[in-house]
A and B are shown apart, each in its own frame.
Chain A
Amino acid sequence: MELIFWWMIPVALLLAGATYWALRKGPGGDESVPRPVAHSHRLTELPEYQAAVRRHRRWLTVAAVAGGVAMAAAVVAAARPAERSTVSPEQRNRDIILCLDASGSMSSADAAVAEVFARLAQGFDGERLGLTVFDSSAVQVIPLTDDYDYVQEQLKVAKEAFDGTPGSAGFLDGTWNGAGSSLIGDGLASCVQGFPATGALTPGGTGRTEERSRSVILATDNFVSGEPIFTLEEAGSLARKQGVRVYALNPGDFDYGTDPEQPGAKLRAVAEGTGGAYYPLDSPEAAADIIRRVQSTEATAFSAAPQAAVSDRAEIPLGIALVSGLVLAGATWRLRR
């Protein structure tokens, strides 16, 4: 808490002192000159009069205190008390798309990812979340949105679907329209396309989209069967072009040796090529841990210079001034009666 126009206070004190001095010095010549009377003790000794004097004095005190407090509070408010805080905007403008491979081997890992994000969405503020499910074709289940209630609800449905809860299979409808299965490259490309184009206008048309970090959480084992339109590498370069980081989670990293043609190694190469990371997933429970790690690397990756935000905090002095002003008005009314 600091005062922006701190010099207001000495100025106000000086003014108050000068006013007091002038009032003391100057003649008390108002329009009603007191008139001389004799035997005033005949009035002042009446208990009723003394009670009236006490009452008057009490209200005068109230009025004086309220007036003083109102003045002081107004001066403090005029000096603009402000709170200087540092905000880290990168925490607030992330876009994350969950890109989940819906092939049967992935369901437990997908369920874990969906659950983790359903929980994380509760604490989000400003981040946008999307969900795309793919197998042979990609379905955008949740477009990029900050409607966290909807996100949570959909993630819950997704988790049930991945867990194989009866009656929830419809969730994955539309993911088998293509030829083959687990077309990872196509899925990743779809996810990358789910971000708005850089430099696109905001929905309101008020200006260009602000700079937001973009990341894709890609859960896949990278076992492709079929002919994808995009290869994984092509999708990776698309992501790089769009400035999207890919974090790959692989629950089935069965690579053997250091051959770069193995699926796990390829996935790692693509993910790291976009500036993201690759995490082999030993068990679905480890997903939460990994996602936390991803979150924190995201945070550090985007830790820009913290911006100082100055917000006026005049509500307390103004509130005090209002209350004491009301008290003053009441006391003045009482004194005038």
Chain B
Amino acid sequence: MPSLLTRVKSKMSIFAHRKARGMLDGEYGSVFKGRSLDFDDLRVYVPGDEVRDIDWKASARHGSPLIKRYVAVRRQAVLLVTDTGRNMAALSFGGEEKKDIAVMALGVVGYLAQRHGDVVGLVCGDGSSTRSLPAKAGEAHLERLLRDVNGHTGLSSPPSSLGEQLSYVARNYRQRMLLFVVADEVVVDAAMEQLLRRLRAQHEVLWLTVRDAELAGPASVRHAGGGEPADAAPADRFDVADALLLPGRLVVSDAVIRAYAAAQEQRDMKRQAVLRRLGIAHVHAGSSHDVLPAVFTLLERHRRGK
């Protein structure tokens, strides 16, 4: 099995060539204002400050003592939270398995974090059990996390329930961390909103939604297979939860497509509204190509949101 992290890194290098090199690292670093030894700003000296922190040159120009302020070098802990239930083995909007996109997103953020010297942990699971892997540094550890997610997600896994993983985090972690949640198009109900509010009070939360396969509409036809005419019916699908068969022919009518699109838009709006209200940065990714721009946008949004 090829290394999952290698795949992540190759994707990142392509992206880095396209955007400015190192931009992602910068975006990531700014999340905590964690520019380690970097100079942060100057402030007026108050009694009790360390005398060696006085910036003499600036004080001379200014006329009164100024203190150089550094952001303390501190190991951040990044906790990857994801769902390894059956839902994530289903198809995504772009036609891949959703877990591939999830692994890519987790890998990108994890790799950024470990390059930054942060430790990366994992909480994942499904409706029946939740596992955690301790936060450690190093690529080997990150690879292990990704393999754990990849290996535990399959059509025979138990059903998904992201709320379980979130409440596990709320119960078991006392330390302030950066939570990076990767989920599919979950409905954030009142209970989950409560839980997220609780988590948000303790942690920084970033949220990436992996888009589900479109069940009715033009995109559902596009992935049915290559070389098919434009008006072909989508392929037959089945639900991972109960193996219910969804014949493709039934979703070709305009009424169904319109109704589905309207309901989909409403769900998206609602999820975005809830997360915005909670101050959680949120992006969508429909395929693994979307992951890097999405993570970039996510970090950007998070920074601006502060």
Chain A residues at the B interface, C-beta cutoff of 8 Å: 32, 34-44, 46-49, 51-53, 56, 335-337
Contacts and interface: CB of A to CB of B under 8 A. Distances in A.
Given A49-B251, A49-B256, A52-B251, A37 B246 contact: yes
Contacts of A56: 247, 249-250
B213 interface: yes
12 contacts: A32-B236, A34-B236, A34-B237, A37-B239, A42-B263, A46-B260, A49-B216, A51-B255, A52-B253, A52-B256, A53-B250, A56-B247
A39 B212 contact: yes
Nearest to B256: A48
Contacts of B184: 38-39
Interface of B is mostly: mixed
Interface string B202-213: 000000000011
Contacts of A38: 86-88, 90, 98, 160, 184, 212-213, 239-241
Contacts of A39: 87, 184-185, 212, 215, 239
Contacts, number: 102
Interface string B177-216: 0000000110000000000000000000000000011011
B155 interface: yes
> Which range contains the number of B residues in contact with the other chain?
35 or more
A37 B237 contact: yes
Contacts of B260: 42-43, 46, 48-49
A46 B256 contact: yes
Contacts of B246: 34, 37, 40, 43-44
Contact of B259 (A36, A49, A336): A49
A18 to B, nearest CB: 26
A36 B251 contact: no
Contacts of B235: 32, 34-35
B256 A40 contact: no
A27 to B, nearest CB: 15
A40 B247 contact: no
The listed residue with most B CB atoms (<10 A of its CB), out of A40, A47, A49, A52, is: A40
A36 B240 contact: yes
A44 B250 CA distance: 10
Given A36-B89, A48-B253, A56-B249, 16 more contacts: A34-B237, A34-B238, A35-B91, A35-B236, A36-B90, A36-B240, A38-B86, A38-B87, A38-B160, A38-B240, A40-B215, A40-B246, A48-B255, A48-B259, A48-B260, A335-B249
Contact of A34 (B88, B212, B245): B245
Contacts of B253: 48, 52
Given A34-B237, A52-B256, A40 B249 contact: no
B160 to A, nearest CB: 8
A35 B237 contact: yes
Contacts of B238: 34-37, 40
B51 interface: no
Contact of B237 (A40, A48, A49): A40
A37 B160 CA distance: 13
Q: Which 5 A-B pairs have the closest CB atoms?
A: A40-B239, A38-B90, A43-B215, A38-B87, A48-B259
Contacts of A35: 91, 213, 235-238
Contacts of B35: none
Contacts of B236: 32, 34-35
Contacts of A49: 216, 250-251, 256, 259-260
Interface in B28-69: none
B262 to A, nearest CB: 9
A37 B250 contact: no
Given A36-B89, A36-B90, A49-B251, A42 B215 contact: yes
B11 interface: no
Residue of B184, B240, B250, B251 ringed by the most chain A CB atoms within 10 A: B250
A79 to B, nearest CB: 36
Nearest to A45: B263
Contacts of A36: 89-91, 155, 237-240
B244 A44 contact: yes
Nearest to A56: B250
Given A42-B215, A48-B255, A48-B259, A37 B240 contact: yes
Nearest to B97: A36
B116 interface: no
A37 B256 contact: no
Contacts of B216: 43, 49
B263 A46 contact: yes
Given A46-B256, A48-B259, A56-B247, A37 B215 contact: yes
Nearest to B255: A48
B259 A37 contact: no
Contacts of A335: 249
Contact of B213 (A34, A37, A48, A53): A37
Contacts of B259: 46-49
A53 B250 CA distance: 6
A36 B91 CA distance: 6
B9 interface: no
A39 B91 CA distance: 11
B267 interface: yes
Contacts of B252: 337
A37 B90 contact: yes
